[in-house]
Chain A
Amino acid sequence: TQLLEQSPQFLSIQEGENLTVYCNSSSVFSSLQWYRQEPGEGPVLLVTVVTGGEVKKLKRLTFQFGDARKDSSLHITAAQPGDTGLYLCAGKQGAQKLVFGQGTRLTINP
């Protein structure tokens, strides 16, 4: 079974600071996705990364897929209270399934 480990599990920072969240595995994934989940709601897809070394930007969020396709990172620049939520990485497992990391719970304090 492929496993994804996210770190840190909890992160609380002040508005305006930068942060990085990590998603690591000993297995190679053909693609990796990041989701954000707000309290009381289901996860929502942010981005999919496919190619080793790929970097994708979504406004203040930068996603990177490791060269060996075993790890990924999410960097947020100048965090805002609206970035608060649970961030989940997920790797494609076989043809039909995803395996999820345990999540990073991010709190941005005004």
Chain B
Amino acid sequence: NAGVTQTPKFQVLKTGQSMTLQCAQDMNHNSMYWYRQDPGMGLRLIYYSASEGTTDKGEVPNGYNVSRLNKREFSLRLESAAPSQTSVYFCASSGSSLSYNEQFFGPGTRLTVL
């Protein structure tokens, strides 16, 4: 079991470029999440998907879009990157058998926007 995998691990973009961050989980979890982590800010929820076919905004959705491609995969797209989107991005998943929404995290994508 790989758990939660994310690609790429590192990325440098220029302002205005677009890119998609990929996430996949092999734990048969229903729910998947995208967070960003900035110094002193903890983890802030960007978007989440409670189940296949549904997506909802989190705390900081502006400038991002998501796609729940199937039960395993949840992608995050930056259409026109801005320096304010420089951050570390984490994908997480959670299963219905986990009563308290305990989440399993991927290793992160470190994104720099110049």
Interface residues of A (CB under 8 A from B): 1, 6, 9, 30-31, 33, 40-45, 48, 50, 88, 90, 92, 95-103
Name which of B11-19, B71-79, B96-104 contacts chain A: B96-104
Cα A48 to Cα B48 with chains together (Å):
21
- The total of interchain contacts (Cβ-Cβ below 8 angstroms) comes to 59
Interface range, B side: 20 to 34
Cα A100 to Cα B31 with chains together (Å):
17
Query: Of B31, B100, B105, B107, which is within 8 A of A33 by CB?
Result: B100
A96-B48, A97-B58 given; A50·B107 CB < 8 A? no
Cα A6 to Cα B42 with chains together (Å):
10
A41-B108, A42-B107, A42-B108 given; A50·B43 CB < 8 A? no
By a CB distance below 8 angstroms, the chain B residues around A95 are: 50, 101
